Amino acid sequence: MITNAKQKLYDIIVDINLSKLANRYFGKSSGWLYHKFDGRDGNGKETDFSPDELEQLRGALYDLADRIRKAADTL
C-alpha cells in the first residue's frame, strides 16, 4: 500500500534526500520515513502518517523550499 503522501510527492521525492529529511525534521531514521511512505511499518503492519506528522512534513517541505529559494537568490 503506497500512501497518499507518497503519491502526492512522487514528482519531487527522487530529488529529495529522504534520509536528511527524516533526520533533520523528524529526528528519525530514513527507514522510518520510507516505511511511512510505503504504508508498512518495520513489522509489516499497515501504517500511515498521523495528522501531526503530515503537518510536520508539510512544514519541512515549506522550509526546504524557502531554503532553496534563498540559495537561488544568491546566484
Residue 1 has pLDDT above 70, yes or no: no
Q: Where are the domains of the chain?
A: 4-73
* CA-based nearest residue to 3, from 45, 35, 42, 51: 35
- 7 pLDDT band, cuts 50/70/90, is confident
Query: pLDDT value at position 59?
Result: 97
Lookup result for grid cell 519541512: 60
Residue 31 has a pLDDT of 93
Hey, which residues does 46 pair with through a beta bridge?
40
Sign of CA dihedral 42, 51, 7, 71: negative
Tell me the three cell numbers of residue 74.
544568491
Per-residue pLDDT tens digits for 8-64: 888 888 888 999 999 999 999 999 999 999 998 888 899 899 999 999 999 999 999
